[in-house]
A and B are shown apart, each in its own frame.
Chain A
Amino acid sequence: NAGVMQNPRHLVRRRGQEARLRCSPMKGHSHVYWYRQLPEEGLKFMVYLQKENIIDESGMPKERFSAEFPKEGPSILRIQQVVRGDSAAYFCASSPKTGNTGANVLTFGAGSRLTVL
């Protein structure tokens, strides 16, 4: 039972290029979350998606960032025209369908580290 799979683990881009980060949730999980961690800082929520729906994007920067979770395939976090300030670790998490049971545990992937030159 594979965990949350993220790729690439490391990505180097030059300023102005596009970065695409992929996340495959755990089997049976229908909810995906993206978090960003800047160097020496805490984890910041970016976006929460269900299949084909963005549920909460309150943490997404207004420009250049987008996320999707299609019916088939992994979730994609896309950063257009990257800048040096986008250099960070991007973590994906998944969870099963939520309910009021108290569990609601998020399982995180190992992260994708983006370096912008």
Chain B
Amino acid sequence: DAKTTQPPSMDCAEGRAANLPCNHSTISGNEYVYWYRQIHSQGPQYIIHGLKNNETNEMASLIITEDRKSSTLILPHATLRDTAVYYCIVRVPGPGNEKLTFGTGTRLTIIP
């Protein structure tokens, strides 16, 4: 799986958009980008994933650069409940590679 680099921490004002970057410069053509988050003491929660196109769901948007070497997770209107550690994971899904390997992630703090 490709290595990812994320800033260790970020702050964002409540109600503003939170933009969390992730670098994955060694990503290969068939590797997907996944985002999970872990709110304090809870189990990790899936947010979104994508291959090359930008993706949006009810939780967030995922913007992947054209060269796929980096991506940004966008929480459009951050609330205090979005305070969590956010993990960017890159991997090829499918048989033989099912597990997720978590890095250190970005600790996002939403400021009232």
Contacts and interface: CB of A to CB of B under 8 A. Distances in A.
B94 A95 contact: no
A113 B44 CA distance: 15
Nearest to A95: B98
Interface in A59-117: 89, 91, 93, 95, 98-111
Contact of A89 (B41, B46, B93, B99): B41
Contacts of A91: 43-44
B100 A106 contact: yes
Contacts of A95: 98
Interface residues of A, number: 29
A5 B97 CA distance: 24
Contact of B43 (A48, A102, A103, A110): A110
B28 interface: no
Interface centre among B38, B42, B43 (most CB of A within 10 A): B43
A82 to B, nearest CB: 21
Contact of A102 (B32, B42, B101, B104): B32
A98 B49 CA distance: 16
B76 interface: no
B98 A48 contact: yes
A89 B100 CA distance: 17
Interface residues of B, number: 22
B93 A101 contact: yes
Contacts of B99: 33, 45, 48, 56
Contacts of A104: 32, 93-94, 98
24 contacts: A31-B98, A42-B104, A42-B105, A44-B102, A45-B100, A56-B98, A56-B99, A91-B43, A91-B44, A93-B44, A93-B100, A98-B95, A98-B98, A100-B93, A102-B32, A102-B49, A102-B51, A103-B93, A104-B94, A104-B98, A105-B34, A106-B44, A107-B46, A108-B44
Given A98-B93, A108-B43, A111-B43, 16 more contacts: A4-B43, A33-B99, A33-B100, A42-B102, A42-B103, A43-B44, A43-B102, A89-B41, A95-B98, A101-B93, A102-B32, A102-B51, A104-B32, A104-B93, A107-B46, A110-B43
